[in-house]
Amino acid sequence: INKTATAAGGGDNTEVNCAWVDRQNDDFGLAMSAKLVIIVEAVLGIGETLTFAGNFQDASDIAGTDAADYGDAITATIVATGESGGETVDTTVEIDVDLAHAKQFIRAQLTPNMSAGSADTVEWSAALVFYGHSRTPATAAIDTVGGPA
């Protein structure tokens, strides 16, 4: 998914539904874990911040049948801060997801939020990287979602 937002305008503090993704692979079976990677390019004023919050959902099919929230919500986390006026900040955000108890289809719901009243902008992209069986990826994650309660 590729999205943009403007502080206090379009896309800011608005939940984005990512596409449903099938975690079944004919060669490797059902992915048991994933990493959500969010790539960010933001223009932020001095001291202004960009946060991301969100959650995951699972479902029985690609249409989202029986969709339900999966795991804990992703707490709003500051991912970028402007250090000089109009500075471009590039960063990557990672979130690990234990899919052991999820249905076959999964999606992220993400909410970018900029602290500025106007002018700041962000372009961001998100992708899920799946892993099989009980192997989990190396991590620099800000959060982990799913797993036993």
Please tell me the least confidently modeled range out of 7-16, 77-86, 98-107, 126-135. Answer: 126-135
pTM attached to this predicted model: 0.86
For the segment 106-130, what is each residue's pLDDT rounded down to a tens digit? 999 999 999 998 889 999 999 999 9
Residue 39, beta-bridge partner list: 92, 125
Rounded mean pLDDT, 16-32: 90
Nearest to 142 by CA among 53, 69, 43: 53
| pLDDT band with cut points at 50, 70 and 90 for residue 149 | very low
- Measured distance CA(32)–CA(30) in Å, rounded: 6
Nearest to 71 by CA among 42, 104, 100: 100
pLDDT value for 110: 98
Reading the block at residue 119, the tokens are: 């002018």
For the segment 25-80, what is each residue's pLDDT rounded down to a tens digit? 887 788 999 999 999 999 999 999 999 999 999 999 999 999 999 999 999 999 99
Contacts of 99 (CB under 8 A, 6+ apart): 23, 30, 31, 32, 33, 34, 106, 146
Nearest to 1 by CA among 38, 45, 54, 48: 38
Q: How many residues belong to the chain?
A: 149
| Placement of tokens 């911040």 in the chain | 49
pLDDT value for 17: 97
